[in-house]
Amino acid sequence: MFRLILITFFILVSFNNIQASMTKDELTKFIDKSMSIGKKDETLPMWEILDKNKELHSFIFETFDLAPIAGFSGGKMNMLVQMDIEGNFLDVQLLEQDEPVFVSGLGVLPFVEFLQQYKNKSLKNSIKVGDLKSSGNTVYLDGVSKATASVKIANDSILASSIKIAKEKLSGVAPKEISHPKKDLLEKHTWKSLLDKNLVKNLRVTKEEAEKLFINSEYKNELLDDERSELFLDLYVADLTIPSIAKNLIKQSTQDELDGQILETEEAILILANGEHQILSDDFVRNTSPDTLEIQQEGFALNIRDGDYEINLLDGIPQFDQSLILQVDKRFDFDPSSPWILNAKVVRGNGTLYSTPVIKNLSLDVHIDKKYFDIKQKVKETPLWLSSIYEQKEKLIILTLLLIGLFIILFKYQVVLKNLRYKRSFLLLITLFFIGWYGQGQLSMVTILGLVKAVLNSQSLQFLLYDPFSLIIWFFVLISLAIWGRGTFCGWLCPYGVLQEFSHYIGRMLKFPRIRFSENLNSKLVYIKYIVLASLILSAIFAPNITEYLIEIEPFKTSITLVFDRQWPYVVYALFWLVLGMFLFKGFCRYFCPLGAFLSLMGRLQTLNWLPRRFECGNPCNNCHKSCNYQAIDKKSGDIKYAECFQCLDCVQIYSDADLCKILKKDAKKEKDMQIKDWRKTNG
């Protein structure tokens, strides 16, 4: 049977076809009527756009042809980009996507509006997705709430494909030699010799020189009356990736921190400064790209961010009031062995309604001798998704600690049995608010179906890495499946499951009638979820276009991802299960959840029958069976049906409590009778 499944799967894969790029006639409808499509490039999947004089005006290309990054659902994400010969984006249009949040969640309009932000932006800018204000050559695009991973994938695909075009076709952006610092070249230098050999570059600016920048603006002469010091800025720059520089500047503690964090495709640039001018703005946030500093090479702004390092300089190196280490991304063609420029921005004016801020650059040219580099070594590219991990590192650390804590609790469950209901409710609230609504860590069949689509389309699985928060939960769940079964996720880590459980508690408090199916009917209803699971997987293989609609049987997107901010039919559906839960305990989880079915099947790998049982469980004692809301304990044998067990630990509490367990009560009574009998014998 297993061989048959494998053969069927590979036959299905062989039938897969990726849609070809658009033809010349198809592209014509996307460009201005005064333009025309020219010839197709011989080496790159792109077309020229000609103006009315038949001269080269711009280029048009599909992102999937140049940077085929799968969407968050595992499906194809494809944008049509028009970029002029100066590297300016003229238009970015959506061609294809099947992200669930944009198909039937928020709708496609937020995605289209996100892409419209690229118009008139330049590839020479450092374009990022975030909620920080744009400044200088760093441009932040407004993301889409609840769809951060999807729009970051889109941004990475647009930039990666555009840069490939720019490297080959834009003027002044010829492909560079790839260089790495020589790790075996280690020279000894003093502070003076570092400066003399241009290994440390210096820019010293007086207040008078700074004022000349604003001589023709309304903000001139702001510093001339200040007699505290003549120094405006004394700036020093050094490339710490070069051992001959780093070993003569920073202490080993800082070097160790650098070695632990800097990537092979990053350059670490040390910035030191004294003077009245602050090189970082007052609202600067650590670990982000500073809006008052930029690094340019051949006119293009590079992707930089603060590394948030503790900087300890060697004895003998002057002390500085300001210091930071910038990490420069080399994947976008930064060559540290070629000349580059550091711009320190001087901003005057607050940019209010009636005034426009004036920004001037204090520029420092940097060119390090090529003898410190190995040239023409191929760079092993670091994936763009790593930025998602770094941006969320605090949240990921907290999540990891919580999961480790849950791991310990399940191994040492005896410690939580006292006041179990309150302790468990507290942990479930953390799941709902932190993992669910804040962290957006609701696991879903969307990921499983995305894997199926990616395999069928022979695509990379790196889309999973754009949501590291959920990926960590998946990793923990896969481990827990082999140890405890499905119940770890379904009973402790599913935010929508928490909503259902709390709705049942509310129903009990309101004294609503309780629905509990017979053993016979319940044993049949539990198979519905497997039918739902099979339907979703088959649709992903045979009819992927409808899968995004069928997946709506999961109310997770409505209740957790979008927090009920959605069209009313979806909200009514999600609320239906919660209202039903006031009467029927976790009806969706037990009978309809395809993810629960998938985890139940995977839980067959479980190695531990870890919930304790006695010989008398089931006969004569049925207390655990009667109290199990999941009906996961066999009435006759008392055995745990782990495929349906959510690990609530209620049965373990009964098992360990002499007031609740009939067997313990009986044993306690026997022991008491024996004690009374012994006492009577002793006291005659």
pLDDT at 365: 93
Q: What is the pLDDT of residues 297-344, one digit of tens each?
A: 877 777 788 888 889 999 989 999 999 999 887 766 678 888 999 999
pLDDT at 9: 40
pLDDT at 3: 39
Closest to 542 in 3D by CA, of 4, 16, 7: 16
DSSP string, 586-623: THIIIII-HHHHHHHHHGGG-----S---TTBTTTB-H
The answer to whether the predicted template modeling score (pTM) of the entire model surpasses 0.75 is no
The residue behind tokens 């020279």 is 187
CB atoms within 10 A of CB 327: 25
Residue 227 CA to its chain's centroid (Å): 50
Distance in angstroms (rounded) separating the CA atoms of residues 637 and 616: 9
CB 219 within 8 A of CB 349: yes
Report residue 470: phi and psi, to 5°. Answer: -70, -35
For the chain (684 residues), the mean pLDDT of every run of 10, in chain order, is: 38 39 82 86 86 87 82 76 89 85 77 89 76 55 71 83 78 56 89 93 89 73 60 92 92 90 84 90 77 82 81 92 88 80 82 63 91 67 64 88 91 78 90 92 87 71 79 92 89 94 94 92 93 92 83 91 87 95 94 94 76 74 84 84 87 79 70 62 66
Q: What is the pLDDT of residues 100-158, one digit of tens each?
A: 777 766 778 888 888 999 998 888 777 777 655 544 455 677 766 666 777 888 888 88
* Angle between helical axes of 393-411 and 468-483 (0-180°, round to 10): 10
Give the DSSP letter of residue 455: H
pLDDT at 272: 94
The two three-digit tokens of residue 233, written as one number = 């800025």
